[in-house]
Amino acid sequence: MNAVIGSHDLLLVTLDTLRYDVAAELADAGDTPILTGLLPGARWERRHTPGSFTYAAHAAMLAGFLPTPAAPGPHPRLFAGAFPGSETTGAGTWTFDAADLPSGLAAAGYHTVCVGGVGFFNKLTPLGSALPSLFAESHWEREFGVTVPEALPHQIDRVAEIMARLPAGRRLFLLLNVASLHQPNWFYLDGATRSNGDTRASHAAALRHVDAHIGRLFALMRRPCFVIVCSDHGTAYGEDGHSGHRIGHEVVWTVPYGEFVLP
């Protein structure tokens, strides 16, 4: 990662609440051609999240603790705050002397921007302002949120505005938190009504929707650009009697992850 920082823009896309099993199934079926076409080997990597809900997972990721490969380690990290005795800081790890990744990247000359989706980014409360406050520039509107079916296109419109005014010589770190997978998502499934509720099938339909739009996001980014696309946590749809997340269940802890340089 040391060769990337300073020479590449950085894009972190968190597909909030996306389950690994659903992402892998759709990739295998060819239902997410944009994302799958960019993933190494056309497959999602199976990883474990550092947190079982949005705030915890993003707080960890923005401190350098991205989802960890599910296979036995060790697993050196891409980014790490300076921390004596760290066992996951390797020769290729980019280290920063700050409490969080956005601050570390800002010190390295990056303009840091957050475009939020779910409620932990809404800036309407002190808690909803905590994660956005880590960035030099942050954006959230109601039309970016979980109840709006076209939230992702609205967010990408905002990214287009950001990119249009970004100085040519300034490197960018952009976090885009995509709300589409999060409940409610019933409206992405053809023929579904509110009374049907959210299901694994509507979760999958939401990912198809994301894939249909995310290519425009990638097209807006300058090259070279290093991209991380991952989920922050999964969610349960009745497995073992569970619904939702913030629990220690396999469908919550296991998340899809991919990293690549945009062609």
State which residues form the domain around 163.
9-68+100-261
Is 126 inside any structural domain? yes
- Return the H-helix or E-strand segment holding 113: strand 110-115
**Alpha helix (H) residue ranges in 31-187:** 33-38, 54-61, 101-107, 126-130, 151-164
Domain of 186, CATH number, reads: 3.40.720.10
Is 48 inside any structural domain? yes
Cβ neighbors of 41 (< 8 A, separation 6 or more) are: none
DSSP 167: -
DSSP 8: B
Is 117 inside any structural domain? yes
State the virtual CA torsion across 63, 251, 260, 79 in degrees, nearest 10.
20
Cβ neighbors of 13 (< 8 A, separation 6 or more) are: 175, 176, 178, 214, 217, 227, 228, 229, 230
What total number of domains does the chain contain? 1
Each residue's pLDDT tens digit in the chain (263 positions)? 999 999 999 999 999 999 999 999 999 999 999 999 999 999 999 999 999 999 999 999 999 999 999 999 999 999 999 988 888 999 999 999 999 999 999 999 999 999 999 999 999 999 999 999 999 999 999 999 999 999 999 999 999 999 999 999 999 999 999 999 999 999 999 999 999 999 999 999 999 999 999 999 999 999 999 999 999 999 999 899 999 899 999 999 999 999 999 99
Q: Label residue 241 exposed, middle or buried (CB < 10 Å: 0-12, 13-18, 19+).
A: exposed
